Amino acid sequence: MGAQSMELSTLDRLFEEELESSFDTVQPDREFVTRLRRRLSNKGQVVLEPRSPATAFVLVALGLFTGALLVWILGRLR
């Protein structure tokens, strides 16, 4: 197993060298990185719109109707 891990580390090193020579080094804009860090580390504000009782009633009625329709269709198929 020792030879295998040594072989893998050699392959890893060769792969890293190939990647390093293939890509250009990029220096990111400091202001962009600072803004991004701030945005990622601060909790976002989530605002939920209040649901009206009519919307809830329509959703429940639609669910019940769909369930009853499925039961009726499955009963007719048997």
In the chain, domain spans: 2-77
pLDDT above 60 (res 2): no
Looking at per-residue confidence, does 65 or 17 come out higher?
65
List C-alpha distances in Å: 69 to 33, 39, 56: 55, 48, 20
pLDDT in tens, 11-32: 899 998 899 899 888 898 999 9
List C-alpha distances in Å: 76 to 65, 67, 70: 16, 14, 10
Confidence at residue 25, expressed as pLDDT on a 0 to 100 scale: 83
Looking at per-residue confidence, does 74 or 78 come out higher?
74
Confidence at residue 70, expressed as pLDDT on a 0 to 100 scale: 96
Question: How far apart are the C-alpha atoms of 31 and 27, rounded to whole Å?
Answer: 12
Confidence at residue 9, expressed as pLDDT on a 0 to 100 scale: 86
